[in-house]
A and B are shown apart, each in its own frame.
Chain A
Amino acid sequence: MATYQDIVSKPTPLAPGHRMCAGCGIPAIVNSIIAASDKPVIVANATGCLEVTSTIYPFSAWNVPWVHLTFENAAAVAAGIETAYKALKKRGKIKDDVNIIAFGGDGGTYDIGIQALSGALERGHRFLYVVYDNEGYMNTGNQRSGATPFGADTTTVPAGTKSIGKTQWRKNIVEISAAHRIPYAAQAAAHNVVDIYNKAKKALSADGPSFLAVLQPCTTNWKYDTALTMKYSKLAVETNFWPLYEIENGKVHINYKPKERKPIEEFLKGQGRYRHLFKPENRYAIEEFQSLVDEEWERLLKLEESGAKL
């Protein structure tokens, strides 16, 4: 098994010199995932944080072939690359094997890109789709997405005297992906590089499409100190807000079960987007948040225990 040291010592396909925010976890996520590939990688990138900060013309931070077309179609572009690869291989025009990885944010994945993603998963293209999930349209300044959690303050659904911010729970993008009967779908978080790496390894060795959702705490719009990204990623897992699990050929396996789950307040506190929940009149929302987290965790445990195929 690869150690943390092994992974971070590998060459970085996403080179230093990009313009991501201080404290952003995206570079570590991207490099850990690509490090898991034993074949050359081609990247298709949706419009979003990663794209706008890594390729400001005439510069590129990418040491691997990379393409960006638009916001909602990274899965379709990746499908096109994969099909071209099959065609050119068949016709003897290329020799090497490759892995094709699409990266999109949660806006480009859960929302505007879900159709292209669904189509590509259903057709069975052999590629890995990665969503770096910072729980909103963070590149454009914290607008609500289908990934934004309950109670968060966003610019399009702000907290106010008559609002706690978002009142819906987030979509379950991992289960949506798994419902396409793909061989591998998993959830990981920015702080656990070894887990990300191992999941990427499994995903890239799957015979078909694979999907990986990685929590990417956003220092800029979750509004916390830039040094605390990994702390919040870890708290998301320790509170069961963001369980680390995988769905392999339909079967759920939870990769990490906290010995004692921490109360959700520990994840929420210190984040500017949840500050309003700590007002006396909104405390009920924290209780509701806690019960939503616990319900989801219980459901996940049952899915794992049952051993049934999703």
Chain B
Amino acid sequence: MSVYKPLTGAQATAEAMRQINPDVVAAYPITPQTPIVEFFAEFVANGLVDTEMIPVESEHSALSCVVGAAAAGARAMCATSSQGLALMWEIVAATPGLRLPIVMPVVNRALSTPINIHCDHSDTMGTLTIGWVQIYSENAQEAYENVFLALKIAEHPDVLLPVMVMQDGFITGHGVENVKVLDDAVVKEFVGQRNPDRYLLDLEHPYTIGPLALPDFYYEVKRQQEEAIERAKEVYLRAGEELAKITGNTYPYFEEYKSDDAEAVIVILNSAAGTAKDAIDELRAEGRKVGLIKPKLFRPFPYKEYREVLKDKKVIGVLDRSISFGSYAPVYAEIRNALFELDHRPAMQSYIYGLGGRDIFKSEIKNVFEELLSGNVDSEKQKYIGLRG
């Protein structure tokens, strides 16, 4: 039986990890991820899991240990945020090429400098090009369920890639919600066991992993990696269907909220999508045709599916919680890319909001819709919500 528990996003993630009971977890504190590994350490200390935990000396070693453990044949996890993700970047980039199925929850936090512990998406948006599957979560419930989804995708033989599961720092990570927690036995059956076909501890079959590949083979390895992440698109949907059977929720590439008949649509991911839904409800009550698309699977990016739902829209606003300095913001750039094949493209506007944890208000999102519907948009100009003038 599922039960509702008051949990923070971090706690919900730790709860998912408890139910998975991985072989190995490496832990390093980094605000606002820290409660995940703290809660999990308590589970270890009290025998609620029998995971071997490694309290490492850095984020770089956290993922290095997890890679070593996964290569050895274990189901291994770690979690991080911001500066921690930046410090481990070398290993983040190295992991997909080894084709190791690692799940890493990431609690989004602004990147230094200036140093700031609050939410934006500059940490994970900085890792878009290096081969991790990325799933974003609006709230603690999604953060919880996406961990299971991620594990299924990562370990699928057609994929074998690492997966990041995102949630917003503090807003989701430290905010308490009523989370529907699945029955332990149900999760246990859903996640099963990791059954690698090659691993270091298979001593009968010595295995070389991580060799040097020069210009004669490196290219092919990377092409195979690309094919694998493309396959993750389909695997995401299939794994989602399977997960839906135990959660009752659905796992599309993106959530469509009152967007069907909408003239103006905004695209916004993670927690601010919740605020946007409230704004949309109020505008809808006034008869305005507005809606939301909330990205969930961000890597691989389902371009065609976005194009299908956005092609007939009059105007689209994309709200990014990070800047891609010197170019279009990351989410905006993807949506813009998705529409290239259309003969008649919707009008588009890029907005930046909420950097370093600045709040975004319902009134600001309503203003965005007003602006979009007024036609005052410029697809080449980036606007800033809530920026001090």
Contacts and interface: CB of A to CB of B under 8 A. Distances in A.
A57 B61 contact: no
B122 interface: no
**Interface size bracket, A side:** 35 or more
B13 to A, nearest CB: 20
Contact of B211 (A60, A93, A115, A120): A60
Interface in A90-134: 90-91, 93-94, 96, 98, 115-116, 118-120, 122-123
Contacts of B74: 83-84, 87-88
Contact of A123 (B55, B91, B202, B209): B55
B340 interface: no
A57 B72 CA distance: 20
A57 B211 contact: yes
B23 A44 contact: no
A94 B73 CA distance: 10
Contacts of B211: 55-57, 60, 68
B76 to A, nearest CB: 7
**Interface size bracket, B side:** 35 or more
Contact of B66 (A67, A80, A116): A80
Interface string A43-64: 0100000011001111010111
B65 A80 contact: yes
A141 interface: no
Contacts of A238: none
B201 A80 contact: no
A40 interface: yes
B68 A116 contact: no
B30 interface: no
Nearest to A44: B68
B67 A77 contact: yes
B214 interface: yes
Nearest to B55: A123
A62 B212 CA distance: 13
16 contacts: A57-B211, A72-B60, A78-B68, A80-B66, A80-B68, A81-B68, A83-B54, A83-B68, A84-B68, A84-B70, A84-B76, A86-B52, A93-B73, A94-B201, A116-B57, A116-B60
The 10 closest A-B pairs by CB, nearest first: A80-B68, A119-B57, A55-B211, A84-B74, A76-B64, A80-B65, A77-B68, A84-B72, A68-B210, A60-B208
